[in-house]
């Protein structure tokens, strides 16, 4: 298996089930601006709140054949193995299927992940130990504090400036390597190097 990043913005995501796992999946896809439908006769309090805010659509009933035909991504998250088997059989034309109980019919594992702006860190054990994946994510969240959000914007801006500059490939690589020093998490140091690149023909410069 290989890890891929999938753009689900405005894609139809159908979640069968209304428990805690379904809730976690809904929050992930909501953050990515997917169009989410939850099919379940009962849902968690957090899902109810999302429904109340009209962030997701709710079909207040059990799964029915035909529910998943228009899905781009399907999450099978009921607590009944036989029901999950039946749903998986109906999902033959669905491109991406996440079966949370690990049974047959799934082709997608959702990693434990976190973001810091443009930085997306994810880890998966391919179903072997979701708890280990979660623990690793927690450790990495401490390693990469919230300041990395602005730092990633800084790295992106500098890279664009360097692309526009007449500097040699060696000089550009030198700057890219230099900016990886942790000291450049500080805003003032970021500004200094941006000014430096700008004076060497690295495009426009705008101070926050």
- Model confidence at 51, pLDDT cuts 50, 70, 90, reads very high
Q: Does 184 map to a domain?
A: yes
Q: Does 75 map to a domain?
A: yes
- The answer to whether residues 106 and 118 belong to one domain is no
- The answer to whether residues 192 and 96 belong to one domain is no
- The domain of 71 spans 1-110
Final residue of a structural domain among 110, 130, 158: 110
Reported as a single tens digit per residue, the pLDDT across 154-172 is 999 999 999 999 999 999 9
Residues 94, 83: contact at Cβ < 8 Å?
no
Residue 124 backbone phi and psi in degrees, to 5: -135, 145
- The answer to whether residues 76 and 1 belong to one domain is yes
Q: What is the pLDDT of residue 203?
A: 67
- The answer to whether residues 5 and 99 belong to one domain is yes
Q: Does 208 map to a domain?
A: no
Q: Does 191 map to a domain?
A: yes
Q: What is the pLDDT of residue 202?
A: 74
- The answer to whether residues 192 and 155 belong to one domain is yes
CATH number for 68:
3.40.50.720
H helix or E strand, kind and range, residue 13: strand 12-16
More confident residue, 149 or 128: 149
Structure tokens at 51: 């429904």
Per the confidence metrics, is the pTM higher than 0.95?
no
Structure tokens at 82: 């036989």
- The answer to whether residues 15 and 49 belong to one domain is yes
Reported as a single tens digit per residue, the pLDDT across 172-183 is 999 999 999 999
Q: Does 30 map to a domain?
A: yes
- The answer to whether residues 5 and 94 belong to one domain is yes
Q: Does 205 map to a domain?
A: no
- The answer to whether residues 95 and 134 belong to one domain is no
Residue 75 backbone phi and psi in degrees, to 5: -110, 120
Burial class (CB in 10 A: 0-12, 13-18, 19+), 108: middle
**CB-based contacts of 164: which residues, under 8 Å, 6+ apart?**
201, 202, 203
- The answer to whether residues 57 and 117 belong to one domain is no
- The answer to whether residues 117 and 160 belong to one domain is no
- The answer to whether residues 101 and 4 belong to one domain is yes
- The answer to whether residues 119 and 173 belong to one domain is no
């Amino acid at each position: 298996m290989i890890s891929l990043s999938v753009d689900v913005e405005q894609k139809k995501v159908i979640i069968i089930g209304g428990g805690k796992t379904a809730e976690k999946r809904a929050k992930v896809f909501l953050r990515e601006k997917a169009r989410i439908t939850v099919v379940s006769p009962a849902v968690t309090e957090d899902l109810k709140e999302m429904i109340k805010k009209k962030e997701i659509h709710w079909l207040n009933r059990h799964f029915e054949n035909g529910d998943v035909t228009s899905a781009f991504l399907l999450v099978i998250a009921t607590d009944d193995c036989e029901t999950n088997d039946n749903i998986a059989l109906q999902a033959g034309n669905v491109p991406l299927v996440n079966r949370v109980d690990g049974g047959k019919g799934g082709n997608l594992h959702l990693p434990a992940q976190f973001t810091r702006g443009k930085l997306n860190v994810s880890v998966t054990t391919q179903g072997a130990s979701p708890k280990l994946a979660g623990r690793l994510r927690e450790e990495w969240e401490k390693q990469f504090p919230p300041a990395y959000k602005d730092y990633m914007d800084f790295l992106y801006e500098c890279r664009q400036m360097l692309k526009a500059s007449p500097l040699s490939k060696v000089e550009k690589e030198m700057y890219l390597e230099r900016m990886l020093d942790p000291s450049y998490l500080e805003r003032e140091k970021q500004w200094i190097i941006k000014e430096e690149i700008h004076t060497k023909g690295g495009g426009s410069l705008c101070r926050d």
